[in-house]
Structure 1
Amino acid sequence: MDSPYLPQAPTRAEIDAATGAMVLNFGTNWCGHCQAAAPLVQQVLQGQNDVQHVKVEDGSGRELGRSFHVTLWPTLVFLRDGVEQARVVRPRSVEVIRDALAKVA
Structure 2
Amino acid sequence: MGGCITKTFKRGLQKVPTQRLGGQNVTPITTISKWEEKLSEAKRDNKIMVVSFCASWCGPCKAISPVFAELSNKYPSLMFLTVDVDGLAEFSTSWDIKATPTIFFLRNGREVDKLVGANKEELQRKVAGVASSQTKLT
TM (norm. structure 2) is 0.60
Cα distance in 1, alignment partners of residues 88 and 82 from structure 2: 17
8 Å Cα contact 2:54/2:85 also seen in 1: yes
Q: 1:10 aligns with which of 21, 24, 32?
A: 32
Alignment match, 2:95? 68
1:98 and 2:98 correspond? no
Map 1:1-105 to 2 at 5 A.
Answer: 2-3=22-23, 6=28, 8-10=30-32, 14=36, 17=40, 18-19=42-43, 20-59=47-86, 62-93=89-120, 95-101=121-127, 102-103=129-130, 105=134
Q: How many percent of aligned residue pairs carry the same amino acid? A: 22
* SS at structure 2 position matched to 1:86: strand
Residues in 2 aligned to 1:2 and 1:68: alpha-carbon distance in whole angstroms:
20
Could you tell me which amino acid in structure 2 is paired with residue 9 of structure 1? T
Cα distance in 1, alignment partners of residues 84 and 27 from structure 2: 5
Residue correspondences, number: 103
Any stretches of 5+ residues in structure 1 without a counterpart?
A: none
Structure 2 alignment gaps of length 5 or more: 1-20
Greater per-residue helix proportion: 2
Cα RMSD for the two superposed structures: 2.9
* TM-score, L = length of structure 1: 0.76
